[in-house]
């Protein structure tokens, strides 16, 4: 057995060395990952250890940990993360359970579920924060307009937890929906046939099977919450989190602290997210896959007991409707005469952006162009990485996969700071690549790095379904790696390619935390402009930007659906 393994490895090594194009691809990918993922993080960590003469090696970390502002930001980050993730997991589980076990029947409920599943994907991360301020702020439509209240407590913990819960629960819903539908109904029916009630069946069969998946979903939400910058910045009030504190430290929002202290603060956040990322990816994700493998053996008999279905439908319907109303408030905010005082409709904010100086056209043109370029690069780069990880055997293959997925663990603000440290004076302060700092190029690179994990995951999943004999026959006919990939592999995974393209585009054009420290005034990126207008109290213009951005996101998904249908028709014809 060992001899066969050695012979196989030796054969793989010879194949690799005999294919110069494959060697170039692997080398190029490795260099780019090291340069734009590993190197900036190394520079950030290195700066956190730069201390004044006479100070200890860990002086910056000690100084930061002594700051009362840092301690409160750390406590706020963890507290908000746990509470909002728990609530998002519970709400997401309810939606997934209703979808998998109950016949919705109502077209209204089905529409609500479809909208809830897609809206958070196509909207900027802080749209719900804008809506919460619109409805429940000091000049809110509900608080002042209906109840005549002169002040509101929405800012701070209540606001952040509310918007994060509503933003992240659709992620949990989509993650658990598939797991619930993969549970073999015969397991549950066997318990009921032995006289168990629905609650007993749920707690003895369904829930234990789902626990790893639920834990996985919780950690995904917790990672997102810890990394969230936009919502705490907009609706946090006097509550700072680590993400906002890092931003304030680097932009002069705090009057104390050095660059080393700021870097140490960023590393603290990076350590927290990395630990939970490793647990999520290599422990809970693996367990959830191992627990529920394959598809259910037959269709599930849906629950008809009204004592179960009616309450669950009401809860899901009310929450879903509230989410839809909050998104509709963004549009209403874009046509409201004066935020919080005059609710009559007007088009003056739309005219302000799309006439005269044409700021809106310029912002959307620049943002659309950057997002589209980065999406194309991400899709191609992700498919190449997935291809060499799945289809080739060589030393370092697992390392390439890990580094490509590492961006999931790096909060946007931390990545932004790392790029500042890494490229403001060039690579290792040599001046090499210093020109990308402050340019559109660095934004494109950041977008690619941030979207790469999703694309690689999608590519690996698609490639694992292709029989290797198809590609081997092409090799036997004399084709090299480039020819096989372009003429055989890529056509077979083009659905995943286009899916990754649209997903990357939407993620890029709605990104803010990773780019807010890197965008210069001459680059009018949409989300940064929304944040600036909202920060200055000009919510009407911010809502116009957000409304158009949501519509653009839906248009992108529509294009994806159209492409997918056409590709499916062509496959059927073939």
In this structure, of 10-14, 78-82, 207-211, 328-332, the range with the lowest mean pLDDT score is 10-14
98 forms bridges with which residues in the sheet?
none
Judge if 401 and 461 occupy the same domain.
Answer: yes
Average pLDDT over residues 228-235: 90
DSSP 345: E
Do 387 and 255 lie in one domain? The reply is no
Of the candidates 471, 508, 187, 541, the one whose C-alpha atom is nearest the C-alpha of residue 330 is 541
Whether 415 and 279 map to the same domain: the answer is no
Residue 86 has pLDDT above 90, yes or no: yes
Does one domain contain both 266 and 397? Answer: no
CA distance 16 to 557: 39
- Tell me how far apart the alpha carbons of residues 371 and 367 are, in angstroms, rounded to a whole number: 6
More confident site: 186 or 253: 186
Highest mean pLDDT: which of 2-16, 351-365, 392-406, 484-498? 392-406
CATH number assigned to the domain comprising residue 138: 1.10.3720.10
Q: Are residues 33 and 113 in the same domain?
A: no
In a domain, 571, yes or no: no
In a domain, 564, yes or no: no
Does the structure show a pLDDT above 70 at 60? yes
* Domain final residue pick, 269, 291, 313: 291
pLDDT at 269: 92
Going by DSSP bridges, is the β-strand pair 336-338/342-345 parallel, antiparallel, or unpaired?
antiparallel
Do 269 and 165 have their domain in common?
yes
Written as six digits, the tokens of 559 are: 């294009």
DSSP-derived secondary structure letter, 139: T
**Is residue 334 situated within a structural domain?**
no
pTM (two decimals):
0.86
Dig out the tokens for 61 from the structure: 């970390």
Same domain, 33 and 110: no
Q: Which residue has the higher pLDDT, 574 or 291?
A: 291
Closest among 427, 570, 558, 553 to 494, alpha carbons compared:
570
Q: Are residues 142 and 250 in the same domain?
A: yes
> Please, which residues have CB within 8 angstroms of residue 440's CB and are 6 or more apart in sequence?
366, 370, 523
Q: How far apart are CA 543 and CA 132, in angstroms?
A: 12
pLDDT bracket for residue 302 (50, 70, 90):
confident
For residue 341, pLDDT over 80 is answered with no
Specify whether the CB–CB gap between 163 and 241 falls below 8 A.
no
Q: Rounded to an integer, what distance in angstroms lies between the CA atom of residue 512 and that of residue 529?
A: 10
Nearest Cα neighbor of 400 from 413, 419, 414, 381 is: 381
**Residue-range definition of the domain harbouring residue 108:** 59-291
Give mean pLDDT, residues 361-386.
90
Answer with the one of 258, 291, 324 that is the final residue of a domain. 291
Q: Quick one: tokens of 454?
A: 């999703």
Encoded tokens for 239:
């509550």
479 and 516 share one domain: yes
Quickly count: other Cβ atoms within 10 Å of residue 396's Cβ.
11
Distance between CA atoms of residues 568 and 121, nearest Å: 24
Give the least confident one: 138-147, 155-164, 418-427, 470-479.
Answer: 470-479
Q: How far apart are CA 312 and CA 352, in angstroms?
A: 45
The single-letter DSSP state of residue 337 is E
SS3 string, 415-476, reads HHHHHHHHHCCCHHHCCCCHHHCCCHHHHHHHHHHHHHHHHHHHHHHHHCCCCHHHHHHHHH
Residue 11 has pLDDT above 80, yes or no: no
Residues 6+ apart with CB under 8 A from 411: 226, 227, 229, 242, 243, 269, 270, 273, 513
CB 240, CB 138: distance < 8 Å: no
Note whether residue 184 is domain-resident: yes
Helix (H, G, I), strand (E, B) or coil at 292: coil
Q: Over the stretch 481-520, which tens digit does the pLDDT of each residue have?
A: 777 777 777 777 777 777 778 888 888 888 888 888 899 8
Q: Which of 449, 442, 448 is nearest to 520 (CA)?
A: 442
Within-domain flag for 354: no
pLDDT digits (tens, 9 = 90+) for 168-183: 998 899 888 888 887 8
The answer to whether position 252 is within a domain reads yes
Assigned token pair, 169: 């629960």
Long-range contacts at 75-82 (CB < 8 A, ≥ 24 apart): 76/239, 76/240, 76/241, 77/225, 77/226, 77/241, 77/242, 77/243, 77/269, 77/272, 78/226, 78/272, 79/157, 80/157, 80/160, 80/161, 80/164, 80/225, 80/232, 80/241, 81/222, 81/225, 81/226, 82/222
Mean pLDDT of the chain: 83
**Cβ atoms of 411 and 227 closer than 8 Å:** yes
Same structural domain, 182 and 42? no
Indicate if 213 and 268 belong to the same structural domain. Answer: yes
Instruction: Judge if 287 and 259 occupy the same domain.
Output: yes
- Structural domain includes residue 31: yes
SS3 55: coil
Angle at 351 between CA 348 and CA 352, to 5 degrees: 85
Q: Can you tell me whether residue 336 is helix, strand or coil?
A: strand
Please give the angle made by the CA atoms of 276, 282 and 288, to the nearest 5 degrees. 100
Radius of gyration of the chain measured on its C-alpha atoms? 25
Give me the helices (H) in 513-538, please.
526-535
**572 inside domain:** no
Looking at 343-347, 452-456, 490-494, which range is the least confident one? Answer: 490-494
Q: Beta partners for 102?
A: 303
C-alpha span between 540 and 492 (Å, rounded): 46
Name the pLDDT band for 221 (thresholds 50, 70, 90). Answer: very high
The residue among 301, 280, 264 whose CA lies nearest residue 103 is 301
First to last CA, the chain: 42
Q: Which residues contact 342 (CB under 8 A, 6 or more apart)?
A: 336
- Whether the pLDDT of residue 257 is over 80: the answer is no
Domain count, the chain: 2
Which of residues 268, 291, 314 is at a domain's end?
A: 291
* Rounded-to-integer distance, Cα 94 and Cα 112, Å: 14
Helix axis angle, 20-33 relative to 359-391, nearest 10°? 130
Q: Which two tokens stand for residue 368?
A: 């659309």
- Residues 94-145: tens digit of each pLDDT: 999 998 888 887 788 888 888 887 777 778 878 888 889 888 888 788 887 7
DSSP state of 123: S
| Mean pLDDT to the nearest integer, 274-299 | 68
């Amino acid at each position: 057995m060992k001899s066969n393994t050695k012979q196989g490895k030796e054969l793989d090594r010879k194949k690799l060395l005999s294919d110069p194009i494959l060697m170039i691809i692997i080398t190029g990918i490795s260099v780019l990952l090291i340069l734009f993922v590993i190197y900036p993080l190394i520079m950030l960590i290195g700066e956190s250890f730069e201390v004044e003469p006479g100070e200890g090696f860990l002086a910056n970390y000690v100084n930061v940990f002594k700051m009362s502002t840092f301690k409160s930001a750390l406590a706020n980050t963890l507290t908000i993360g746990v509470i909002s993730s728990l609530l998002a997991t519970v709400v997401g589980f309810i939606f997934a359970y209703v979808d998998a076990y109950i016949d919705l029947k109502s077209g209204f409920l089905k529409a609500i579920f479809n909208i809830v599943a897609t809206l958070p994907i196509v909207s900027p991360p802080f749209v719900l924060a804008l809506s919460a301020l619109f409805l429940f702020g000091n000049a809110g439509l509900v608080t002042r307009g209906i109840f005549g209240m002169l002040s509101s407590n929405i800012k701070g913990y209540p606001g952040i937890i509310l918007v994060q819960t509503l933003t992240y629960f659709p992620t949990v819903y989509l993650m658990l929906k598939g797991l619930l539908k993969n549970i073999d109904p015969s397991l549950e029916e066997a318990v009921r046939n032995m006289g168990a009630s629905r609650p007993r069946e749920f707690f003895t069969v369904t829930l234990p099977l789902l626990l790893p998946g639920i834990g996985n979903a919780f950690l995904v939400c917790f990672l997102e919450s810890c990394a969230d910058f936009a919502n705490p910045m907009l609706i946090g009030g006097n509550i700072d989190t680590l993400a906002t504190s890092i931003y304030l430290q680097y932009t002069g929002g705090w009057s104390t602290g050095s660059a080393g202290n700021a870097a140490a603060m960023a590393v603290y956040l990076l350590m927290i997210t990395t630990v939970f990322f490793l647990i999520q990816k290599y422990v809970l994700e693996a367990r959830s896959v191992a627990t529920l493998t394959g598809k259910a053996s037959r269709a599930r008999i849906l629950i008809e007991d009204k004592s179960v279905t009616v309450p669950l439908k009401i809860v899901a319907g009310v929450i879903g409707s509230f989410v839809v109303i909050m998104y509709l408030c963004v549009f209403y905010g874009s046509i409201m005469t004066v935020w919080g005082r005059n609710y009559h409709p007007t088009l003056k904010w739309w005219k302000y952006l799309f006439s005269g100086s044409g700021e809106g056209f310029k912002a959307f043109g620049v943002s659309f162009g950057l997002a589209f370029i980065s999406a194309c690069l991400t899709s191609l780069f992700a498919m190449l990485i997935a291809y060499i990880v799945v289809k080739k055997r060589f030393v370092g293959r697992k390392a390439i996969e890990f580094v490509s997925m590492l961006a999931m663990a790096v909060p946007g603000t931390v990545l932004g700071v790392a790029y500042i440290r890494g490229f403001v004076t060039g690579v290792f302060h040599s001046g090499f690549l210093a020109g990308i700092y402050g340019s559109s190029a660095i934004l494109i690179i950041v977008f690619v790095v941030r979207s790469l994990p999703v694309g690689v995951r999608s590519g690996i999943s698609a490639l694992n379904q292709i029989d290797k004999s198809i590609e081997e026959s092409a090799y036997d006919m004399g084709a090299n790696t480039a020819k096989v990939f372009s003429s055989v592999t890529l056509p077979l995974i083009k659905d995943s390619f286009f899916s990754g393209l649209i997903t990357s585009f939407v993620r890029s054009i709605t990104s803010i935390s990773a780019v807010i420290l890197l965008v210069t005034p001459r680059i009018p990126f949409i989300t940064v402009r929304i944040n600036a207008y909202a920060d200055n109290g000009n919510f009407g213009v911010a809502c116009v930007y957000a409304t158009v951005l949501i519509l653009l996101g839906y248009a992108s998904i529509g294009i994806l659906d159209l492409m997918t249908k056409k590709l499916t028709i062509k496959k059927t014809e073939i």
